């Protein structure tokens, strides 16, 4: 048995954050049906995988972890016939997740108010940049914009330089994806007690504000603003930083606690530096005392005397919080990640052995599984339609009418 076995989710998203959300739920056993636009329908998500006949793209789909454990149906929600198919799908569904700008689902006739009339038990999750209401709700945006509004971007980087853009980890994946998972699971739990579904309104921006709780609470209580790159956990001091090694690679140090800093000083033969560990004032700003720059310069010279792996082995033996700064090609061979099965090697029926990220939520009794590879767009249309009770002639007629694909 899988944790979410028997839960059916209709996915109306065409961007990775929504796909990651449903990937996690699918790994835990949910039945995901990916509703994709027809290439000729003209929607922004239309035709994203339209050219999947190309061998290269078919091979790439074998590695597409975001869409594993899913089925795909092509459906034209701009057509009355396509909407009727979706309405029939709703009757046995538990969750709908959509990632359009607020109002777009209304124009397609698949908004929450419409959907809940058909299935009052439905959990309807909307992922959007600024949320379903408010003065910004219709504004366009991407991760960089959302983390700007939430105050996160201004804290990341080095003093005197523009903020460092942290890829799209914060708002897109950590923010919307994981808050979507939590919101859907919470709503399903409530439904078990009340029998009623509800709307789960997830804003990418709101999610990042949640991540800012530690910093905002201190700002509200004492006015702290955390200058960029100049305080304890932002690389402003030598005990919490990355350093280049002899082979041109990097290690990261996290010696925030006094005893860890002292362990480092002993391990590098510099007991004279023990007094330069963290003090509470470092959480506020960078000290003007030039000695800190001298300590950092000393560490830079020392770390250039051995390779990254040599330093890692030596420092770990001395109980120092240290890690190798990996490139992507190194991640897949890390012994801890392999032990935790966070890098999976799977056997694809057509493309042989492929690697995918593993399942982070470890359940002792009902562990998640990769049960199926990512489908090609529309691969399961006939299967889904027949399960809904449509005859082969019905399916052919709807396909000719460009309602399905």
Domain harbouring 89, CATH code: 3.40.50.10540
**Within this chain, do residues 154 and 186 fall inside the same structural domain, yes or no?**
yes
Q: Are 32 and 140 contained in the same domain? A: yes
**Residue 320 shares a structural domain with residue 353:** no
Torsion (CA) 234, 236, 237, 239 in degrees, nearest 10: 20
Same-domain status, 240 and 362: no
- Catalytic member of 172, 179, 206, 282: 172
| Given 92, 133, 142, 313, the catalytic residue | 142
204 in Cβ contact with 127 (< 8 Å): yes
**Segments in the chain below pLDDT 50:** 52
Asked if 286 and 158 sit in the same domain, the reply is no
| pLDDT score of 44 | 57
Q: Looking at the domain assignment, is residue 335 inside a domain? A: no
pTM of the full structure: 0.94
To the query of whether residue 14 is one of the catalytic residues in this protein, the response is no
112 in any annotated domain: yes
Is residue 119 one of the residues assigned to a domain?
yes
116 inside domain: yes
Give residue 213's pLDDT. 97
- Report whether 183 contacts 96 (CB < 8 A): no
Boundaries of domain holding 355: 8-211+341-400
Q: Which long-range contacts (CB under 8 A, 24 or more apart) does 357-362 make?
A: 357/65, 359/27, 359/28, 360/24, 361/24, 361/27, 361/28
Find the DSSP H helices in 169-203: 178-194
Shared domain check, 363 and 292: no
Instruction: Give, for 220, the enclosing helix (H) or strand (E).
Output: helix 213-222
Q: What is the pLDDT of residue 95?
A: 98
Of 264, 289, 324, which residue constitutes the final position of a domain? 324
Same-domain pairing of 78 and 206: yes
Does a structural domain hold residue 336?
Answer: no
Per-residue model confidence (pLDDT) at position 334: 97
Q: Which residues pair with 128 in a beta bridge?
A: 203
Q: Which residues pair with 200 in a beta bridge?
A: 125
Domains contained in the chain, number: 2
Mapped onto helix, strand or coil, the DSSP state of residue 361 is coil
Q: Are strands 322-324 and 343-348 parallel, antiparallel or unpaired?
A: unpaired
348 given a catalytic annotation = no
Long-range own/partner contacts, residues 82-89 (CB < 8 A, 24 or more apart):
82/398, 82/403, 82/404, 83/108, 83/109, 83/110, 85/385, 85/388, 85/390, 85/398, 85/403, 85/404, 86/10, 86/35, 86/110, 87/118, 88/388, 88/389, 89/10, 89/33, 89/35, 89/384, 89/388
Residues 310 and 364 in one domain: no
């Amino acid at each position: 048995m899988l944790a979410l076995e028997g839960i059916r989710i209709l996915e109306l998203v065409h961007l990775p954050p929504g796909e990651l959300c449903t990937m996690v739920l699918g790994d835990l056993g949910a039945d995901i049906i990916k509703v994709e636009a027809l290439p000729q329908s003209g929607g922004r998500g239309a035709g994203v995988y339209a050219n999947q006949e190309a061998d290269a793209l078919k091979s790439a789909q074998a590695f597409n972890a975001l869409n594993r454990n899913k089925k795909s149906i092509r459906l034209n929600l701009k057509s009355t016939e396509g909407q009727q198919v979706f309405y029939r799908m709703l009757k046995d569904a538990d969750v709908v997740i959509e990632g359009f700008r607020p109002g777009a689902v209304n124009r397609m006739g698949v908004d929450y108010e419409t959907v809940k009339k058909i299935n009052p038990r439905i959990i309807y999750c909307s992922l959007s940049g600024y949320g379903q209401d408010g003065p910004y709700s219709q504004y366009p945006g991407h991760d960089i914009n959302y983390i700007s509004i939430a105050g996160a971007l201004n804290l990341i980087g080095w003093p005197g330089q523009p903020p460092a853009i942290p890829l799209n980890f914060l708002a897109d994946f950590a923010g919307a994806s994981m808050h979507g998972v939590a919101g859907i699971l919470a709503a399903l739990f409530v439904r078990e007690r009340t029998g009623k579904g509800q709307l789960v309104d997830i804003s990418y921006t709101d999610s990042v504000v949640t991540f800012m709780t530690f910093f905002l609470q201190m700002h509200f209580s004492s006015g702290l603003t955390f200058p960029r790159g100049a305080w304890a956990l932002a690389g402003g001091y030598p005990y919490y930083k990355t350093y280049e090694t002899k082979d041109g690679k990097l290690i990261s140090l996290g010696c925030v606690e006094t005893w860890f800093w002292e362990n480092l000083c002993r391990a590098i033969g510099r007991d004279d530096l023990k007094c330069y560990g963290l003090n509470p004032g470092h959480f506020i700003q960078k000290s003007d005392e030039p000695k800190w720059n001298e300590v950092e310069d000393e560490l830079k010279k020392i770390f250039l005397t051995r390779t990254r792996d040599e330093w890692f082995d030596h420092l770990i033996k001395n109980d120092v919080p240290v890690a190798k700064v990996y490139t992507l090609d190194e991640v897949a061979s890390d012994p801890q990640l392999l032990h935790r099965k966070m890098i999976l090697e799977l056997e694809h029926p057509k493309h042989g052995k492929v690697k995918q990220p593993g399942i982070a939520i470890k359940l002792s009794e009902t562990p998640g599984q990769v049960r199926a590879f990512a489908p090609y767009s529309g691969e399961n249309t006939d299967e889904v339609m027949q399960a809904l009770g449509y005859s082969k002639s019905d399916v052919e007629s709807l396909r000719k009418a460009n309602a399905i694909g």
